[in-house]
Chain A
Amino acid sequence: MSTATVAPAALEMPADTYLNSSFGIKSWFLTKDHKRIALMYLVSISLFFLFGGTMAVLMRLELLTPAGDLFQSDTYNKLFTMHGIVMVFFFLVPSIPATLGNFVLPMMIGARDLAFPKINLASWYIFMIGACFTFSAIISGGVDTGWTFYTPLSTQYLNTHVIAAALGIMIAGFASIFTGLNFIVTTHRMRAPGMTWFRLPLFVWSQYAVSIVMVLATPVLAITLILVALERGFHIGIFNPQLGGDPVLFQHMFWFYSHPAVYIMILPGFGVISEVIPCFSRKRIFGYSAVAFSSMAIGVFGFLVWAHHMFVAGISTYSALVFSLLTFIIAIPSAIKVFNWTATMYKGSIHFDTPMLYAIAFIGLFTIGGLTGLFLAALGVDVHVTATYFVVAHFHYVMVGGMLVAYLSGLHFWWPKITGRMYPEPPAKLSALITFIGFNLTFFPQFVLGYMGMPRRYHVYPPEFQVLNVLSTAGASVLAVGLLMPMFYMLWSLKYGEIAGNNPYRATGLEWQTTSPPPTHNFHETPIVTRDAYDYESLTEEVEVVG
């Protein structure tokens, strides 16, 4: 829609882009261009997402009936394990940082590339090597530890390929460390003249916060998984009480990474939403510094709440008290963000392009996801709902309703910049609507199931839970349609999409000042920044003058 109004004259694709600067397999696999690496990541994680999604669909099919009639228990256990491992470590963690972040972050700050292009390429190779390990475990029979690898189950009692899967995750972890390192240095050292810290787009702030978390937390996961492998392979007693270890120690170490990891997953989503909402409201973000600082606060406090996953795991009552308090405190920065995004729409001029539809869906779903976290943070209620479907629903409201929806919003938003062509609006809007409906139908019944007491990871369940499970499975099939549609129309748009032009949405931000797709070195001239981020005021003036 906006394209039609902004671009009355026929647009042409730019002659010199990162896509046509060189050709051949080597030009991709040995590239040091952050944009090409981002695309390689995009293709990889899209495949992993398809795989993880297929696992989810199979699980939902099994749960149509209370009896275990579609798969054997072992198979079902492998399904939810592989769904969790692939979605968390091979889709959610790298999704926005390694694809959208990799692509637009250097352009947003006016840089030619990331600070360490070779490390960026190495990160993709490391990620794929990790994926090879994990998928070799999956292909050679699967893993059934659950994505949490709880000991001593994982170190002694299971006969599946735990070590290969764990090593794969450990190796892939280094990919996120490399990405994080690159982003931190790039943000510090490579900003264009005039791009002060408080002129940074909020997407950069959120990537910066997430990079710090990645660099600091991921090594702990690596250590933990190595210890699991040592205990499993060499019977060195660390977690298994029969060998003198402590099983709860594993949970502390695992969640010390994996709780910050959920912020690794959601913070970049916050960044995308902070870009999209001002753009389609034609308005400055409300409370720029509040949003920026709340990202940093989440990054810091995210390290201090890990044991809220363990309130019934045998930790002391008083330490549970402290972790509960800190968990309530970390809820506040997220609330601040939601209020600021909502306030940004106030007195704007709202355009309902697909990225904005996803962003609005994000605010609603993330609000529910965040608020249901209060039930789990409240000790007295957590004792009842922890590890039930309530947790599954809460987690998916944040990770799918929040993170995945933000990712789709961002993907549509920057698609014209990445490919030079627009996605087709009507099917995109339809898919956003289907995704929203399907998502709620899938996961809302799970809140009810959880409070009723249905435990997660149950292959067989009591019959009174069936109706809600049928609803959830029905929703999953709707959701699957909504999520598959973009794959088709976006591939279609690569060839047939309208040519986008440099700035189809009339957005602020340096990435929109260069051509779409950008040249290999992003800018023909180094941009000089004289304005704040989201300076839509001056932009509308310019348009008025020009038009």
Chain B
Amino acid sequence: MLPRYFPLFPESASTLSTRVDLLYFFILAVTIFFTTLVALLICVFAVKYRKDKHPVPVQIHGSIPLEIFWTLVPLGIAMIIFAWGAVLFFQERRPPKSAMTIYGVGKQWMWKFEHPGGQREINNLHVPVGYPVRMTLISQDVIHDFFVPVFRTQMDVLPGRYTQVWFQATKPGTYHLFCNQYCGTNHSQMVGEVTAMPYDDYQQWLRGSGAFGSLATEGQKVFASMGCPTCHTGADNARGPNLYNLYGHLARLSDGSAVSVDEAYIRESVLNPSAKIVYGFQNIMPTFQGQLNEDEMIQLIEYIKSLTYNGQLLQLQTNTQQEPPVNLDKIQKGIDVTKPGTNTIQMPRTSAVPPAEPAVEPNPTEPAPRGAVVPGRKNAPAKPNAAGKGAAPQGEQQ
């Protein structure tokens, strides 16, 4: 089998890969056309106007119409490729809202992956076929790059900052995972495998891979051991902001701006708390720089993501993706979210497993900024967190 030992084109195994290939072939056609054109012209001229055949040259100064022609035509083609590439790029860079999250940590010279259920892998990544997967990536040392050629996507893995990449595998198989940013001695051995498997097999794999506890439950322990509950009590008069239902929403800051609460923001708030002060709070939180490793940070983030209105830990769920920040437009429309009634948190009293202090109903007479969390919508608790396409396949968890 020639293709097996001498492959000339990579396998296509994600929803994006065929789209990337399509644009690739378009540019390839443009390349072949112009290369052939130029080569052909040169060959024809070289033969036809060689000095033996054509001893007296004809002096031509140039031609403005021709210059305009060969400026505008390539420009037009370039703009088509640009627009096409840009549209594709937005698809590549924006994971579907329903995507499940898997964490990847790069270090010299290995990959660690952590599933929200607590399953851990080294240099091997199991993903279900047919479901979008969002990788949240971070490095413990230098810059690495998460590159899966058959998925036609990659992303640099930076130290100190989360980046993300997503893909949806389309066929089961075992594929190369490369580090594609030079990272020192064993850069070329920082390779792994992505195993895409049918959903049922994936579930079985999750169950069989002996997790000690979900990232969120581990994160709860980190939360307690670091003393976070001392201030983040969830009470109205607490020294730290309430963390319930924070993730995926907007937090209002003391400088009047708002920030979308995502993994990067939570990370920054733990390691560099004074960078962004939530409205109505003092800059009193100490930094936890150097006290948490990347694994603990991920667990902590998963824990905070799991804190929802009804206070239930979404443990053992693979998908903890929450509703997107939906009231950005509210702020953009100029509604003062600090006014009572616009920013009150409808914190139910039914917190089943309050990790710290039980959540307290905010006092409606007091100005709301204490909560500092802008709810996605007023009756949000009614909407279960696990709703949405991505959560559906989770099925029964242990």
Contacts and interface: CB of A to CB of B under 8 A. Distances in A.
B161 A241 contact: yes
B50 A352 contact: yes
B45 A335 contact: no
B332 to A, nearest CB: 17
A445 to B, nearest CB: 10
A51 interface: no
B189 interface: yes
B49 A281 contact: yes
A371 interface: yes
Contacts of A68: 188
Interface in B88-128: 88-94, 108
A372 interface: yes
A348 B188 contact: no
Contact of A378 (B4, B84, B149): B84
A247 interface: yes
Interface string A483-507: 0000000000000000000000000
B159 to A, nearest CB: 5
B181 interface: yes
Interface stretch (A192-200, A225-233, A320-328, A414-422): A320-328
Interface stretch (A126-134, A161-169, A183-191, A283-291): A283-291
Contacts of A39: none
A367 B180 contact: no
B143 A153 contact: yes
Interface string A451-477: 111011111111010011000000000
Contacts of B284: none
A262 interface: no
A455 B147 contact: yes
B149 A364 contact: no
Contacts of A481: none
Interface in B145-164: 145, 147, 149-150, 152-156, 158-161, 163
A345 interface: yes
Contacts of B54: 347-350
Interface in B57-98: 57-63, 66-67, 70-71, 74-75, 78-79, 81-82, 84-94
A368 B30 CA distance: 11
A455 B180 contact: yes
Interface stretch (B20-28, B232-240, B241-249, B313-321): B20-28
B46 interface: yes
A367 B31 CA distance: 9
A368 B89 contact: no
Interface stretch (B35-43, B301-309, B352-360, B367-375): B35-43
A536 interface: yes
Given A345-B46, A380-B87, 10 more contacts: A241-B158, A241-B161, A282-B57, A288-B61, A336-B70, A349-B56, A364-B38, A386-B180, A448-B8, A452-B9
21 contacts: A73-B187, A77-B184, A152-B143, A156-B142, A247-B158, A282-B51, A283-B58, A286-B60, A286-B62, A312-B155, A331-B74, A332-B74, A332-B78, A363-B42, A368-B35, A374-B31, A378-B23, A380-B19, A380-B89, A453-B147, A458-B178
